[in-house]
């Protein structure tokens, strides 16, 4: 399974390198304080990273809530397991 991940990473790097090679144009981004001129591949990489960061930030609250819920459920399961073991230790009455 690990070899497939390595091959996929190598393939993605090769595709990115080919994209960069065949699209050498520079794009200028003008904003309020000035402008920045970078290659198309660099802009796409920056946009991808910003999108990933925004996605992680958007899901951060949900992840925290789910971890808190999981901790509560685990504590509850431990108390139930303790109760079951206590009940099993009781002598059986006929």
Q: Buried b / exposed e across 4-33, counting CB within 10 Å, b at 16+? A: eeeeeeeeeeeeeeeeeeeeeeeeeeeeee
The domain ranges of the chain are: 2-89
Whole-number Å distance between alpha carbons of 75 and 77: 5
pLDDT tens digits, one per residue of 10-51:
998 898 888 888 888 888 888 888 898 988 888 888 998 999
DSSP strand E in the chain: where? 26-31, 34-39
**Contact of 36 with 20, CB cutoff 8 Å:** no
Q: What is the pTM of this model?
A: 0.63
The confidence score (pLDDT) of residue 24 equals 84
What pLDDT score does 11 carry? 92
pLDDT digits (tens, 9 = 90+) for 53-86: 999 999 999 999 999 999 999 999 999 999 999 9
Cβ atoms of 40 and 27 closer than 8 Å: yes
Q: Which residues contact 54 (CB under 8 A, 6 or more apart)?
A: none
């Amino acid at each position: 399974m690990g070899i497939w991940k390595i091959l996929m990473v190598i393939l993605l790097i090769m595709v990115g390198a080919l994209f960069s090679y065949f699209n050498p144009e520079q794009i200028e981004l003008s904003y309020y304080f000035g402008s920045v001129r970078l290659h198309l591949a660099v802009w796409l990489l920056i946009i991808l990273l910003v999108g990933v960061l925004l996605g992680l930030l958007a899901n951060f609250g949900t992840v925290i809530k789910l971890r808190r819920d999981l901790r509560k459920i685990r504590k509850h399961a431990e108390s139930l397991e303790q109760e079951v073991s206590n009940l099993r230790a009781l002598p059986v009455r006929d």
